[in-house]
Structure 1
Amino acid sequence: MSNHTTTGAPSAPRLTSLSHGGGCGCKIAPAVLGEILRHSGGASVIPPELLVGLETADDAAVYRLNEAQALVATTDFFMPIVDDPYEFGRIAATNALSDVYAMGGRPIMALALVAMPVARLPLDVIGAIVRGGQDVCAAAGIPIAGGHTIDSVEPIYGLVAMGLVHPDRVRRNAAAQAGDVLVLGKPLGVGVYSAALKKEQLGDAQYRAMIDATTRLNTPGPLLAELDGVHAITDVTGFGLAGHALEMARGSGVQAVIDWARVPLLPGVSDLAAAGMVTGASGRNWASYGEGVQLGAGLDALAQALLTDPQTSGGLLVSCSPDSVEQVLEVFAREGFADAAVVGRVQAGDGLQVVGA
C-alpha cells in the first residue's frame, strides 16, 4: 500500500493531515444546509433573466444574456482529498467545472479560490496545487482569469467557474419525466477510496483509478444537452448517488428507481467499505435524507453506505427517454467514459426507491 505523500520539500506535511475532511466529503450535510437556508431569510431580488436559481438545489445558476446565450455560474472548493498537491489541484478544478457541464454549458473562464496555511505549507507545494488547477482549465480550453487568496488554517482550493449555454438547452436537475431511463457516467466509490487513503489502505492501482475518475472532465454534458431526449442532468457529488437522485426526483415531482445491481463501482470498493473504509459524510447523508429512500429487500448497510458515499468530481446522472439511451451511451463512450451505465428508471410517485441485491 502507498500513502501517495506530498511532493515538494521533505518537511511538508501530508495535505490530508491538515484538514478535518476532504473533497466533497467536506460538504455540509443536506439537512443542516436546509436549515441554514431556511434561517437566511433575507429579501432576494429575482430578475426574469434568472433561469435557474435556488429553487431545486440545482448545480449552477443560469442567467439569460440574450436570445441565444445564457451565463452559467457556479463555485466549488474544498480541502484536500489526496496528499499530492498537483493532483489535489486537478481534482478540485475538475469538480468545479463539472457543474457547468451538468447544466449543459461549455466553460469559458474561471477564477481561482486559494486559502492556504502559508506558515505550514512550502510555497512550492501551494504552487503545485495552483498549477494542477491551471492544467485542468487548459485542458478544458479556458483561462483562469483571476481569483482571490487568503491565509487559512486549513488548505482549501477551488474555482468560480463560468460557462455559456443556449437558453433552450439548459438541462436542470428538475425535469425528469416518468418513463425516463437513468444513466450514470462514472463509477461510485471515491469517498471509500479517500477513507482508505487516509488509513494508508489504498492500493496503487486503486489510487490511479481514483485520480483517473476524479480528473476526467464531464465533457459529455453539453453534448447530451443537444439531445432532445435528454430531459434532466445533474452531477453526483457530496450527497452521494442517493442524495442527488432524490433531489432530481423531488424537483421533478416523480420517483427515481435505482437498480443497485447495475450501478458501476470503482475496483475493490465493496471490499474496502466492508472493511470499514467509509466516510463520516456517508452517515450524515443518510441521516439527512434517508427517510425519502426506500431500500429494497436484500440491500444491507454496505449498499446504504455506498449509495450515500460522497463523490468528489463524480459522474453525470442523466434522465432520458428510452429511445435516446443508445445515443446517450454513445456520447459517453466517445468522450472516454467507458463505465457509463443504465442504472435505473423514473416513474410516477415520489422519492427514491432502490431495488436489487
Structure 2
Amino acid sequence: MTVRLTQYAHGGGCACKIPPGELESIVKGLVRPGGDGLLIGLEDGDDAAAVRIDRDRAVVATADFFTPVVDDAYTWGRIAATNALSDVYAVGGEPLLAVNLLGWPRDVLPMELVTEVLRGGLDAADAAGCHVAGGHSVDDPEPKYGMAVTGLADPERLLRIGTGRPGSPLSLTKPLGIGVLNTRHKATGEVFPQAVAVMTTLNRDASRAALAAGATCATDVTGFGLLGHLYKLARASGVTAVVDVAAVPYVDGAREAVRDGHVSGGTRRNLAWAEPHLDAGGMDEETLLLLADAQTSGGLLVAGEVPGAPVIGELVAADGPALLLR
C-alpha cells in the first residue's frame, strides 16, 4: 500500500505555521524579566532560548514540529528532525539531546509508518551527534512530527537576531524555493530530490563557520520566508536590510513551480506581512513570492561573511523601510 502522507494534512512543513503577525499578537505581553541567567528569551523572536549555567556554558532549548512535507515517511522524519536541530545551530549551539514529538491518526494511517518517521528522525540526530531519548505522542487527526532539542553553547559566542550592525554583509547558506517545490509535490506527487537534499542538510557546518568568522547575528530561514525572517532581524537590530535580488540563490525548479501556481497560503501571508516594511524596488510578483517563500529546514541568514555562502546583501543604517530590494 502506497500512502501519500501530504494528503492527510491541510498544510505542509513550515508553511503550516501560524502567520507571523498573528503569532506576535498572541505572545505580546508574555515577555517576563529573565534575570541575569536568561541570555536569549522571547523579546526578539530568536530561534531558541539560552540560559547561562556557568561561566563557560549555556543551555540552549527549542522545539519544532510540523505536518508532512513529503509523502515518504522516513524522509519526512529526517527533514523534521533536521529542521528542529537547526534552531540550536541558529543561535550558535551544538545539539546534545532530543526527544520526539509525535501526533498520529492511529485509526487512519498504518502504525508501521510511525516507525519509519521515527527512524528518519533518529538518523538525522545521529548525523548531528545528538542523543534521542523518548518523547511524547498523541492520537491526532493530522500526522505531526518534530523534536524538542537541548544543546550547549558558549555564552560569550551566541548568534542572536538583534545584534546586526550597519556595514555587515548578509550571507545565506541554503538556496530558497523549498516551499514552492513542496507545494508542487503535495499537489502532483512529483518528487524533487534537490529539495530533499537541501532540507536534510544540517546547518551545523554553517553555524560553526559563522562563529569562526566572528559573526554575532544570525537566524534560520524557515516558515516566514527570507523576507519575514530578515524583517525580524532588521527590526530587532535597528537597521535597514538591503537585498541584492540577483545574488539570491534558488533550488532548481523553484521559478517554474511559482509560474505554475504552486504557492502556499503561508507564503502569501508572509509577503502580506512584510510588504508594509518593504521597498520592493519594482520587483515582479514572482520574485517577491520566492523571497517570501515559506521554507522548511532552510539555511542560516548570517550578518557576516560565511565561507562558501553567497552574500545576498548588507545591513545599513536605518533609513525608511526596514527592507530594500535592489
Mapped contact 2:242–2:314 kept (Cα < 8 A)? yes
Distance 1:42 1:354, change over 3 A: closer
Q: Which residue of the partner structure matches residue 48 of structure 1? A: 36
Equivalent of 2:169 in 181, 189, 192: 181
Show structure 1 runs of 5+ residues with no match: 1-9, 334-339
Which residue identity is paired with 1:305? L
* Paired residue type of 1:213: V
Q: Which residue of 2 aligns with 1:5?
A: none
What secondary structure sits across from 1:162 in the alignment? strand
Measured in 1, the distance between the counterparts of 2:213 and 2:31 equals 37
Corresponding position of 2:272: 287
4+ long deviations beyond 3 Å: 41-45
| Aligned residue in 2 for 1:349 | 318
State how far apart, in whole Å, the 1-side matches of 2:188 and 2:254 are: 15
CA distance in 2, matches of 1:232, 1:44: 23
| TM-superposed deviation, 1:223 | 3.6
Distance between the aligned counterparts of 1:174 and 1:42, measured in 2? 19
* Corresponding residue number in structure 2 for 1:240: 225
Q: Distance in 2 between matches of 1:121 and 1:165?
A: 39
Structure 1 counterpart of 2:268, one-letter code = G
* Alpha-carbon distance between aligned partners in 1 of 2:95 and 2:8, rounded to the nearest angstrom: 31
Length, aligned pairs only: 323
Map 1:261-276 to 2 at 5 A.
261-276=246-261
Given the alignment, which residue of 102, 110, 131 partners 2:119? 131
What are the within-5 Å matches in structure 2 for residues 1-357 of structure 1?
A: 10=1, 13-38=3-28, 41=29, 44=32, 46-200=34-188, 202=190, 204=191, 207-219=192-204, 220-228=206-214, 230-297=215-282, 299-320=283-304, 325=305, 328-329=306-307, 333=308, 340-349=309-318, 351-355=322-326
2:228–2:273 contact (8 Å) kept in structure 1: no
Q: CA RMSD, aligned part only?
A: 1.3
Conserved in 2, the CA contact under 8 Å of 1:107 and 1:140?
yes
Secondary structure of 2:95's aligned partner: strand
Percent sequence identity over aligned pairs: 44
Partner-residue secondary structure (3-state), 1:169: coil
CA separation of 1:121/1:201 partners in 2, compared to 1, >3 Å: closer, same or farther? closer
Q: TM-score, normalised by structure 1?
A: 0.88
Amino acid at match of 2:244: D
| Code of the aligned partner of 2:324 | Q
Deviation, 1:198, is 1.5
What's the CA shift for 1:176? 0.8
Instruction: Give, in angstroms, the shift of residue 226 of structure 1.
Output: 3.2
Alpha-carbon shift at residue 222 of structure 1 (Å): 3.0
**C-alpha deviation, 1:288, in angstroms:** 2.0
- Given that 2:157 and 2:216 are in contact with CA atoms closer than 8 Å, whether structure 1 keeps it comes out as no
Cα distance, 1:314 vs structure 2: 0.2
Whole-Å separation in 2 of the counterparts to 1:345 and 1:213: 24
Post-superposition Cα deviations, 1:238-280, rounded to whole Å, max 9, x if no partner, equal 0000011111100100001111100000002112101111111
Q: Which residue type is aligned with residue 128 of structure 1?
A: E
TM-score, with structure 2 as normaliser: 0.96
Letter in 2 for 1:308: A
Offset, 1:124: 1.2
